[in-house]
Chains A and B, each alone.
Chain A
Amino acid sequence: MSELVQHIINGLAAGTIYALVALGYTMVYGVLKLINFAHGDVMMVGVYVGYASAKQMGREFSQSFLGISLVFLMAMCACAVLGFLIERFAYRPLREKPKLTSLITAIGMSFFISYSFQVETKIGDVTVLPGAAPKAFPEIIKPTEWLVFGDRDIVIWNWQVVSVVIAVALMAALQYLVFRTRFGMAMRAVSFDHKSAGLMGIPVDRVIALTFMLGSALAAGAGLLYALKDTLVQPLMGVTVGLKAFVAAVIGGIGHVPGAVVGALALGLVEEFVVGYGSSTWRDAVAFAFLIVVLLFKPEGIFGKVTAEKV
């Protein structure tokens, strides 16, 4: 019984991280009807920025509250800029072209970012690109047991609490932004019909760019939380985590904000159960099997709307 509870706790903690990444997919899909395959890789870049800034600050400072906040801030800002650049130069010129074009571009972008990071490059003494070898992420939050039940039957780690708190806070902020602010209203208008939104005086380009930046910043935050849990960073982590978050977004119904969260939690739990009661080697296949099953029986996702295609 206690084993089951422990698995549920671990699964939910992992799920919240997926949820943050999934929100980025869902937001971008909402406004652009494009699956931003490079989203996971933007997350990876954020993790490396966090890694570099934590190393620069030194062990002492990076473990203080100010240091941790700075690491998160740096990573999120860097990713927002990267997200903007990707949107501006890769996706915007193709917005009116067939969907397949943007899909191929997105896949190419993802490939470009993740594999550039595998080429170790140095200019002078400064490492510009890190290379393929996995690196240990600095312990900016020292893992300690936050709550222990019984004879170590159930252990809740402090990083699990931190991730859940940060993730829930960010999600609440996002929900507020989308449904309670003028910008959120503009976002929803663009999502509904970007041509009419433009005619109504909404700056469509700016709204889309801001949505990209927001999603990318969320991804950076999620990436750092993931790195705290996983402790290893490597250039291809974005592909794995990104794909799983995408799966979560689709399961919840892509374009639907609470749906992405529910999908991510479900995926986190399923993965944890497979690892706990089955074998860890099957973990990566499970997410996709789950996805295929959902797409077969409910292609629009749990909360998605069925839309008829018009000619």
Chain B
Amino acid sequence: MPGFLRGLVPFAIAVPVLLLVQWATSNAPFFVILSLTVGVNVALAVSLNIVNGMTGQFSIGHAGFMAVGAYIAGVVSKATAVFGISFLPELISDQVLYSVSLVVGASVAGLFGFLVGLPSLRLKGDYLAIVTLGFGEIIRVVVQNTEVFGRALGLSGVPQRTTLFSCWFVVVIVVVVARRIRGSSHGRALLAIREDEIAAEAMGVNTTAYKVRAFVVASFFAGLAGGVFAHYQSIVAPSSFGFVKSMEIVVMVVAGGLGSTTGAVIAAVLLTLLPEALRSAFFAFTGSASFAEKAEQIRMPIYGLLLVVIMLVRPQGLFGSRELWDMQPFKRWLGGGK
């Protein structure tokens, strides 16, 4: 198969499968909402993994980029909601406008990634972590003080255009791009930076350029995920993008294994579904909503403890830098793997 066609294979498989799932679950609204939440988190975790996992730069302000994408996409969508593209049926014209707003939101988030990344990636470890955190906070404060974004109340009335298909299509794009970065010389440069920045530089890797690029790609996808999020929540409030959200994503990446895309996907799915499952289980057993609320509260300390315990017991995370198919049972199935 020629190279450029092989790149399309994942999409050729994903599109019909997603359409089929969407058609099959059109009567199960709870499942759809849950799958959207999971999808957004997967996209966020996989994109953060490009920076934190592959490049070894510790960013803890990913929710800030998500916020940029969500707000910009939301504003664009709201502004264009009254228009339709005349020669297209309404449904399709909506989706076209939706895609445009997503891309605009993601591009602005990517631009912010560039602006934040260019100066701050000169900093290392702890400092970078603090600057990204600070950036996330600044974004939140700016949004809270801006009229267009609805101040503290948030942006309401964003048209609900996210479907299961569009959400998971974004996820597929993010995962494929992350995988292809990992497999390319670009990805190997990122890994070299992670292992030893000085040695990488000595071997001719332009560390700053690669780090900034990784940062821009990650923030672009975070913005994309934010746009998807905005279009199913329909209300975008600053509180959705606080430090807690950033930490949630970090926990997913760390638990999945720094540098493992499949690890990030699996950790994101599990860590999104687990609280939901706990909540329903509590509710089913005790029949009272207060216990279910407790489960939601306990989630945060557990995340913190999880980070500490993972670092003490298994610092490389669930998968380390390996992918699912590098694991023993799968390796045997796939005949030795790659």
> A72 CA to B251 CA in the complex, in Å?
36
Interface hit among A46-54, A174-182, A281-289: A281-289
B254 located at the interface, meaning its Cβ lies under 8 Å from any Cβ of chain A in the complex: yes
A35 contacts B126, CB within 8 Å? yes
Residues of B within 8 A of A285 (CB): 137-138, 141-142
Complex alpha-carbon distance, A115 and B133, angstroms? 18
Report yes or no: A105 in contact with B127, Cβ–Cβ below 8 A.
no
Are B129 and A282 neighbours in the complex by a CB distance under 8 Å?
A: no
Cα distance A90–B123 when bound, in Å? 25
- Determine the residue in chain A with the shortest Cβ distance to B311: A105
The answer to whether A311 and B198 touch across the interface, beta carbons within 8 angstroms, is yes
Report Cα–Cα, A284/B133, bound state, in Å.
Answer: 12
> Which chain B residues (110-152) contact chain A, with CB distance < 8 Å?
119-120, 122-123, 125-127, 129-131, 133-135, 137-138, 141-142, 144-145
A311 and B201 alpha carbons, distance in the complex (Å): 12
Per-residue interface assignment for chain B, residues 142 to 171, with 1 indicating a CB less than 8 Å from any chain A CB and 0 otherwise: 101100000000000000000000000000
B122 CB contacts on chain A under 8 angstroms: 299
Q: Which residues of chain B in 281-305 are interfacial with respect to chain A, using CB atoms and an 8 Å cutoff?
A: 294, 297-298, 300-301, 303-305
List of B residues within 8 angstroms of A110 by Cβ: 304
Residue of B nearest to A93 (CB): B312
Candidates B138, B199, B297; contact of A311 at CB < 8 Å: B199
B241 to chain A, nearest CB (A): 14
- A contact face: mostly helix, strand, loop, or mixed: helix
Taking a contact as CB atoms under 8 Å apart, the answer to whether B301 and A115 are in contact is yes
Q: Does A146 contact B (CB under 8 A)?
A: no
Which residues from chain B contact A115 at a C-beta distance below 8 Å?
A: 297, 300-301, 303-304
**Interface size, chain B (Cβ < 8 Å):** 43
| Pairwise interchain contact A103-B125, C-beta atoms closer than 8 A | yes
A291 and B141 contacting across the interface, CB-CB below 8 Å:
no
A21 to B113, CA, bound (A): 31
Give the shortest distance, in Å, between A114 (CB) and chain B (any CB): 8
A73 smallest CB distance to B (angstroms): 28
Q: Is the CB of B298 within 8 A of A101?
A: no
- Least CB distance from A175 to B in Å reads 25
Check if A239 is an interface residue, CB within 8 A of chain B: yes
Whether A65 sits at the interface, judged by CB under 8 Å, is no
* B131 engages A292 (CB within 8 Å): yes
A309 near B198 with CB under 8 A, answer yes
In the assembled complex, how far is the CB of residue B131 from the closest CB belonging to chain A, in whole angstroms? 6
Q: Are A94 and B311 in contact (CB under 8 A)?
A: yes
B56, CB-defined interface residue at 8 Å? yes
Cβ-closest chain B residue relative to A33: B126
- Check if A100 sits within 8 Å of B58, measured CB to CB: yes
> Which chain B positions have C-beta within 8 A of A107?
60, 129, 247, 250, 307
Residue among B131, B144, B199, B308 making CB contact with A108, cutoff 8 Å: B308
- Is residue A246 within 8 Å, beta carbon to beta carbon, of the partner chain? yes
CA distance A85 to B205 in the complex (A): 42
Known: A109-B304, A115-B301, A119-B301. A295 touches B127 (CB 8 A): yes
Using A104-B58, A111-B301, A119-B298 as known contacts, list a sample of 7 further A-B pairs with CB atoms less than 8 Å apart, ordered by residue number in A. A104-B307, A107-B247, A108-B303, A108-B311, A111-B304, A281-B144, A288-B135
Can you name 19 A-B pairs with beta carbons within 8 Å?
A35-B126, A94-B315, A100-B125, A103-B126, A104-B254, A108-B308, A111-B301, A111-B307, A112-B308, A116-B304, A118-B297, A247-B130, A250-B127, A250-B130, A279-B145, A288-B134, A288-B137, A289-B134, A311-B198
Enumerate chain A interface residues (CB-CB to B < 8 A): 35, 90, 93-94, 97, 99-105, 107-113, 115-116, 118-119, 239, 243, 246-247, 250, 279, 281-282, 284-285, 287-289, 291-292, 295-296, 299, 309, 311
**B residues apposed to A, CB below 8 Å:** 56, 58, 60, 119-120, 122-123, 125-127, 129-131, 133-135, 137-138, 141-142, 144-145, 198-199, 202, 243, 247, 250, 254, 294, 297-298, 300-301, 303-308, 311-312, 315
